[in-house]
A = this chain, B = another copy of it.
Amino acid sequence: MKTNAGDERATIRDVAKAANVSLSTASRVVNRDETVRAELRQRVLKAVDSLSYEPDAAAQSLRRQSTKMVGCLVSNIAYPPFSATVGAAEERLYAASYTMLLMASHGRVEREIDILARLRRRRLDSLIATVSSEHDLRVQEELVRLKIPIVLLERQLPLPFDTVCNDHFGGAYEATRYLLTLGHRRIGLITTSAAILPGRERRRAFAQAHAESGLEIDPGLVAGPGHTRDNAYRTACEFLNADDRPSAILAGAHQMVGVLRAARAARLRIPDDLSLICFGETDLTELMTPPLTVVRWDSGRVGQVAAEILLSRLDGTARPSPLSIMLPCDLVLRASCAPLTRETAS
């Protein structure tokens, strides 16, 4: 029974009229209020069906003061770790009847502020965000002004928001120590900006591992933001063409693409001439020759956990104090690192 006479959408009023009940009774039935007599309920349900009635989310939002929408702010949707995280979060939120709004800042603060203003007008119930800098006060101000539960991904701010991060410090520390143990003394680090947690923690771990071995770091061998592949490629070329080139490089998955190109251009064999460790697992790291030693974590898990926290805030289950979840990173040894012998040192 799906004959929809007019082309117009049926409203709850139409349903009430067709079922010969009041507006509120119709509303009650639609909203599963139990206190409606079975007979009336049937009449309403029939009307709903025959009119193909569907509640208007905009009207509901206005009235209920809740949009059942969650914003998701990332720097770039197409960056695989992000898309895996976003995908997992969407999955969980969808199951809880939330709709996800997706916006990309492309790493630009101006854009980010604009996005947050827009999201404010949309009256989101909640937000998942990976801000492009932890130091920008305007962004922080905008986040606070939203006045909704916020979960930060891979970021830390001096604000009472929930956060879920991976243990990039631990991962980078293990990776650096491993290279040091293999005898490497000049190691390059190419990763994201120090203005965001992964970049900051990797630098800190890199420094600490060196310090614990009583070794100095050449600041010239630590590079970032290098957010783009091209930047990473150029940086890697500089590193590899120098007289005292590093014998090993640690790089983010995104940057590693540039590093591999540079290594190929410089005709360096891996791991014989250059040892490599990648932050993040991708198809490439696993299937290339040789397979790359990686610091691995579960991007999807980040999104799942974030969604879970959000939902617990939304239904009031969560304890008031902000949660700060840290997920593990593991060093997975493969074939891209070799011990440093006299020969390979330049």
Contacts and interface: CB of A to CB of B under 8 A. Distances in A.
The contact size tier of chain A is 35 or more
A282 interface: yes
A287 interface: yes
A88 B289 CA distance: 32
Given A101-B99, A283-B282, A80 B80 contact: yes
A50 interface: no
A123 B56 contact: yes
A300 B106 CA distance: 15
A78 interface: yes
Contact of A91 (B52, B54, B58, B104): B104
Nearest to A117: B54
A61 interface: yes
A interface SS class: helix
A199 to B, nearest CB: 21
A83 to B, nearest CB: 4
Contact of A287 (B59, B102, B260): B260
Interface in A60-102: 61-62, 67, 69, 72, 76-78, 80, 83-84, 86-88, 90-91, 94, 99-102
Contact of A59 (B62, B87, B104, B288): B62
A205 interface: no
B87 A78 contact: yes
A123 B103 CA distance: 19
A118 B98 CA distance: 10
A55 interface: yes
A120 interface: yes
A260 to B, nearest CB: 5
A210 interface: no
A345 interface: no
A118 to B, nearest CB: 7
Contact of A90 (B103, B121, B264): B103
A334 interface: no
B56 A77 contact: no
Contacts of A283: 257, 282-284
| A-B pairs with lowest CB-CB distance, top 3 | A77-B87, A58-B61, A83-B83
Interface of A: 52, 54-59, 61-62, 67, 69, 72, 76-78, 80, 83-84, 86-88, 90-91, 94, 99-104, 106, 115, 117-118, 120-123, 145, 257, 260-261, 264, 282-284, 287-289, 300
